[in-house]
Amino acid sequence: MSDICACGTSSPSFDGVLHSLRELQSSPRVTLSNLGASRQGRPIPLLIVHDPAVPLAETVRLFIVARQHGTEASGTVACLALARHFAQAQGEEEQALLRQFSLLMVPVANPDGMCAGRRANAGGADLNRHWGGSGEPEISAIKAAVRKHQPHALIDMHELPAGSGKPSFRDNFIQTIGRDGTLSADLTTDCAATSARLASWMSQCGLPLSVYYDGANESLNLCHRYFGLGAGIPSYLFEAKCGSGRPLARRVRFHVLGTLVVANYALHRYYQPEGQATPQPEEPVAQAPEPTTTVPTTVTLSSPRPEQVARGQLPVVADVTGLPPGGTIGFSVDGKLRSLTTAAPHEYLLDTLGYADGRHEVTVEVCDAAGRNLGASRSVIIVDNRVAAGE
């Protein structure tokens, strides 16, 4: 991964991005095209990296969308870094990988916003709020490309502001599709397995992470929800935290590592050598390196209190000691996983408006890098939304 990220220390202009993409075309592994044009007529490039000797449709395909928000540089830089590495790599491992796997990347989904140095596109639209039914040309172009290439997984790369009052914005996070009986079991199993690996590997590499899960009733206006809930594609929103101690290179590292983890799972899940049956979905085992020493692990819920009456935003806080490298803390409500985290403080903000009035069980569970349970703690809360609803 260090080799991939070595060039991810500066952010080029939009013209610089186009220049880099044209340079990459000298590699026979690279195909560059334009999906369409932005509101102001700028091209929306699509970069595909794969072995030209293998038809694209016969490979496992990962689709990446970066820079929906014009000021968020790290996704673009991560795409360029990944493209350079796999376009040029001569190692046997990379060459074998590219016979099975393809990267399809939109390094700049919002060219006008990037050129203007602003979040929105030229029409003033925040692109990642309009996927459910927008006529924005940038969104329409990407939707058409996804329909054409039918990827096995999709990543939407973003950045978090340095300062925010939202607890979920405290550090890096990934958002994906949670287990839900009304959704495809293959979809939710893929998202659960991949997110467990993401949390564990990020922890191993010193990158704090929380994972949040969307249910079937969520709005489709966000990109990852549109393709995950709407199209059934395992989809992941990556949010790299900005601010002190989080320079561009660190944010690029977050995106690159996350891409490699998603790619690895998708490849092992979907690649089908000739004459072999399609692999079955795996359970969410992290498969990160195991710790060399065993440290006793304890976990308790310091909040909520047993039988606490809850209204509105309820912090669920776990006190954990002895968390091993690659270990994760999971928060569940009524048996349904809502969040995974490796980032201190170990907290999940439960919104009671999403639950019926009455008793609900809140559980925190600690697992090691291999997904083994190291301990759990439970508490029962009583949801009463009447005051929160203004009654």
Of residues 282, 75, 270, the one with CA closest to residue 196 = 282
Q: Which residues of the chain have pLDDT under 50?
A: 283-293, 391
**For the chain, where are the alpha helices, taking DSSP H only?**
2-5, 14-24, 74-88, 92-98, 111-116, 137-149, 185-204, 223-225, 248-270
pTM: 0.91
pLDDT, one tens digit per residue, over 356-382 is 999 999 999 999 888 899 999 999 999
Task: Supply the pLDDT for residue 6.
Answer: 75
Q: Which two tokens stand for residue 284?
A: 């969410």
> Amino acid identity, residue 74?
S
Collapsing DSSP to helix, strand or coil, 318 comes out as: strand
Of residues 343, 341, 174, 337, the one with CA closest to residue 261 = 174
Q: Beta 358-367 vs 328-333: how paired, if at all?
A: antiparallel
